[in-house]
Amino acid sequence: MTKLERCKELLENWEQPDYRYRQILHAVFQQKISRFQDMSVLPAELRNRLIDTLGETVLTLRPAQESLSGQADKLLFALEDGEKIEAVRLHYRKGWESFCISSQCGCAFGCKFCATGGMGKRRDLTAWEIVEELLYFFLQGHPLQSVSFMGMGEPFANPNLFEALSLLTDPAIFGMSQRRITISTVGVLPGIQRLTREFPQINLAYSLHAPNAELRKRLMPVERRWPMEQILDALNAHIRRTHRRVFLAYTLLKNQNDTIAHARELGQLLRKNPKELPLYHVDLIPYNATEHAGELFEPPDQKRIREFYQALRKMGVSCAVRTQFGSDIDAACGQLYAKESS
């Protein structure tokens, strides 16, 4: 339980008026006040009781390690139970900032090229722990312009995810637009379907990484549970209902999934759905090498990346090569955790 959750419980136990908790939330999320002592709207006696019980600030997560780069800052947060999670702040030259946050400590899905997958799942984050990842940056004065659930864990495998989305979009908390939030999934079918129903304007990204089921099974065991054909059917339904673009993440692995033949196969797969094709966008991601993944993979060279991109474009598929941020600071999810734990 985070400090903000405990505040609510304590206020009830101390028989404080209901509006006291709303005053604390307003102080934190509207006035960016992190210290209880500075919440002048509260009686001095109540402020002192909160400090004695919870400490000086509202933050529960604490930075355990930080790695800085030209355009990516990565933090390893320590949780109250001793576990650790990662978050990344990406800052672009035009002044735009984006935050990549975690939904779980570790991950149970075991993708072969992912450092987090090699950890296994430790536990789900609570909804308020997810919120606190952003609150840390928010209280330092960073605007929350864009948030992606692309850090540690599979968002749709965490039953607390949808409560976290409700908090992020709550006008009394962050009040974020759904369109500023992106959920990345390896393909958890029930989660995709629920997002379509309950948060249709949130951006959806599917971690595909292979143009056919057999190759994907080798790279991503989740293919056996929720085959890509089922997921693409659900994504097509999402597009038809929401009229929103769907992103397909495709990590390019040298001599694994990066040939022109793979690109053409991927194009043919997407062209099976001509009505939905214009709202699919493929993000080509050169592999960020890590010694902590279960198998040894390498990124392809620039010539191979360019050829793959050009082959997709010739087939009428919207695509782009994603800019690599933070390779010098182990910014791929799970890398900082693994380095700190080794």
Go through the domains of the chain in sequence order and give each one's CATH number. Answer: 3-54 (1.10.150), 62-341 (3.20.20.70)
The residue type found at 51 is I
Catalytic residue among 86, 133, 154, 223: 86
pLDDT value of residue 96:
86
pLDDT value of residue 20:
98
The residue type found at 74 is K
CA 160 to chain centre: 14
Characterise 216 by phi-psi region: left (phi > 0), alpha (psi -120 to 50), beta (else): alpha
Provide the whole-model pTM.
Answer: 0.91
Catalytic residue among 100, 111, 319, 333: 333
Which of 104, 178, 185 has its CA nearest to residue 146?
A: 178
Is 56 a catalytic site residue? no
Strand partners, 280: 246
Is 86 a catalytic site residue? yes
Could you list the mean pLDDT of each consecutive 10-residue stretch along the chain, which spans 342 residues?
Answer: 96 97 98 98 98 98 87 93 95 87 97 88 97 97 95 98 98 97 98 98 98 98 98 98 98 97 98 97 90 73 97 98 60 47 44
The residue type found at 154 is E
Rounded CA separation 16/122 (Å): 36
Rounded CA separation 63/79 (Å): 9
Other CB atoms within 10 Å distance of the CB of residue 96? 11
Rounded CA separation 219/80 (Å): 34
232-252: burial string, b at 16+ Cβ within 10 Å, e else: bebbbebbeebebebbbbbbb
- Listed in sequence order, the DSSP H helices in the chain are 3-13, 19-29, 44-54, 127-138, 161-169, 189-198, 213-219, 228-242, 260-271, 302-314, 335-341
Would you say how long the chain is, in residues?
342
The DSSP bridge pattern shows strands 72-78 and 84-91 to be antiparallel
Rounded CA separation 170/30 (Å): 12
Per-residue tokens: 161: 């995810």
pLDDT value of residue 289:
76
Other CB atoms within 10 Å distance of the CB of residue 122? 19
